[in-house]
């Protein structure tokens, strides 16, 4: 049975699709494709149906990663569909937990930066209103966090 990961940010066009595609890239490199399934979503509905932000896609391409996907909004059904729900920042973390009325799934919701190995950040910054260096930094940060997640979790893959 595969471990199902959901990456969540605000609009699902920058950070969370980047995390999803980076994780897919790393999973493929480590030949874990039959063990890990990834998706992403946003807590807001601003960009539903949109592809990843072109600036984010350009930054990812510099690292050899192609961003694919289409923005969607997080749904309470996602609590049942995913084993791990990884929030990009505290605001998204709180918004996700607010949808878990019975508090039955809070153990699945984690902060993405909890898995960083070299970056000291506690949140993945939103690069949307900044320059190109912000997008590049987010890719570097998410590479660190995704690698850290795989290293920490895949030995115990099905239990958050």
Query: Is there a catalytic annotation at residue 9?
Result: yes
Catalytic annotation, pick one of 9, 38, 113, 116: 9
Catalytic annotation, pick one of 39, 78, 89, 126: 126
Phi, psi of 87, deg, nearest 5: -85, 140
Structure tokens at 69: 């996907």
For the CA atoms of 76, 100, 108, 119, the dihedral, rounded to the nearest 10 degrees, stands at 100
Phi, psi of 131, deg, nearest 5: -90, -175
Query: Is there a catalytic annotation at residue 95?
Result: no
From residue 62, alpha-carbon distances to 12, 56, 67, 137, 151 in Å are 20, 10, 11, 12, 24
The rounded distance, in Å, linking the Cα atoms of 60 and 136 is 7
134 within 8 A of 125, measured Cβ to Cβ: yes
Catalytic annotation, pick one of 14, 15, 53, 89: 15
Query: Is there a catalytic annotation at residue 114?
Result: no
Q: Which residues are catalytic?
A: 9, 15, 126
């Amino acid at each position: 049975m595969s471990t199902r990961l959901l990456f969540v940010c605000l609009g699902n066009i920058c950070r969370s699709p980047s995390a999803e595609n980076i994780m897919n890239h790393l999973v493929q490199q480590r030949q874990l494709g039959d063990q890990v399934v990834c998706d992403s979503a946003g807590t807001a509905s601003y960009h539903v149906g949109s592809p990843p932000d072109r600036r984010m896609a350009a930054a990812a391409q510099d690292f050899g990663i192609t961003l694919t996907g289409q923005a969607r909004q997080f749904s309470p059904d996602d609590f049942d569909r995913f084993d791990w729900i990884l929030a990009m920042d505290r605001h998204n973390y709180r918004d996700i937990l607010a949808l878990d009325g019975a508090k039955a799934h809070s153990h699945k919701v984690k902060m993405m930066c909890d898995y960083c190995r070299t970056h000291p950040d506690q949140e993945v910054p939103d690069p949307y209103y900044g320059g190109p260096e912000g997008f590049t930094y987010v890719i570097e940060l998410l590479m660190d966090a995704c690698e850290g997640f795989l290293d920490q979790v895949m030995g115990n893959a099905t239990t958050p």
